[in-house]
Structure 1
């Protein structure tokens, strides 16, 4: 192998590496450095460094409750997306054109509309004077108060995140041999058994990819919690926004953002290792 050939991959990947360093690594590094700066409410950000921002966040029950709420909502959203998205992906893979194209467009439709517009749409549906509440009153069940609750945030997040679950799973199913299920049926397996023991183990990495994307995006979501959760029901992203824009305490906001980032990475890496180990065990 010549020196020119061996250097070609590095040369081709250099623009992407520069973009990654400039748009991802550098902002994260600056955020991490900012999180260690001291802050004075009369002066602002100081040149001195301290760990007080992290001790304040990790010892305050207010911030801990927000972290727990963020992880809880992200986890529930991910579970619901798996429960709903995997069957949808399986059904989509068994469709023929033009129905497959039509339903694929319906699935990715939420991505074509601004998240703010979708959030306002859900606020009108879930509000005390919304369609759902009016239907409940007509049925004699009384008004339904869903807006400004965790349920409203989860409903909107599931609606937005479903395409990120369905597309990776559908792609994994498309790579399977179409004769696997008929072979299982010919050996006496039911449809449910064939899906559970043949299909699901082989698409587990697709489920992993989708669930990691959904969890990460849900935990860092800002617009939906801000519009459907209100000012009292905060998540991590809304607290970071408040610290930056309202309190002007940038170091504390940076510390919160960095803690959320590290927590997300640890959870996602642990989940990734668990699923991959299980997949290797199933596939032999």
Structure 2
């Protein structure tokens, strides 16, 4: 089974990356969001990303920007998803938003269409409960920037069928991705560890143990990480980090997931990181 038409819901940082990756691997993409201006910005971001990627790619194969963009339909009309073979959801990490989206697309999409939640922390079984196709719902946690990251975390919900897993594996193979399958739990493997690390790094900064640059320098120099935890937070988006750590705190009811007050303050101040130019660092 070749999955040709893929719906991508949410044109934020992750949705943009997923749509670009799909289009670059020959898929027809329906990128849906609630506002036309968000979609206009997404189209420009994809063009910028392709130009940037072309400068640094290590192969002789050039990326045809116009061809990639033409494979993506940018729309505010969710009804277009009635033609989708597979849908990848990337909306904000808030349960009320996700629940509303899944209820909507469940009524529109074909009965055999698989839903993949690209979520950082919300349990897949909970997401599946908002649909009438729980066996066709799974998690695919893409990493940022999506086109340049070779591996994803695939999450099996309580009701996820083997057929659904196999379909998702075929689609990921078409996208050029490898995967690791894990069982459902808030935050899964990656973010149960990563969010704690980032949150604790923010506490270190708040407590004036070290500067942001020095905290990151230790992780890069001592452990060989390509990016430090605070640089990673800026890349993901501090608002997304806060949403994710709050989901972990809510689900586990464990004080170790208590969000750092400095993180909350920065989000309240609109310091989201790379997405708007200022977080722990300033970006031009």
Report the TM range for the smaller structure's normalisation: under 0.3
Q: Which has the higher contact order (CA 8 A, sep 6+)?
A: 1
Q: Which TM-score applies when normalising by structure 2?
A: 0.23
The structure where strand makes up a greater share of residues is: 2
Give the number of the structure whose alpha-carbon radius of gyration is greater.
1
Question: When the two structures are superposed, what TM-score results if normalisation uses the length of structure 1?
Answer: 0.23
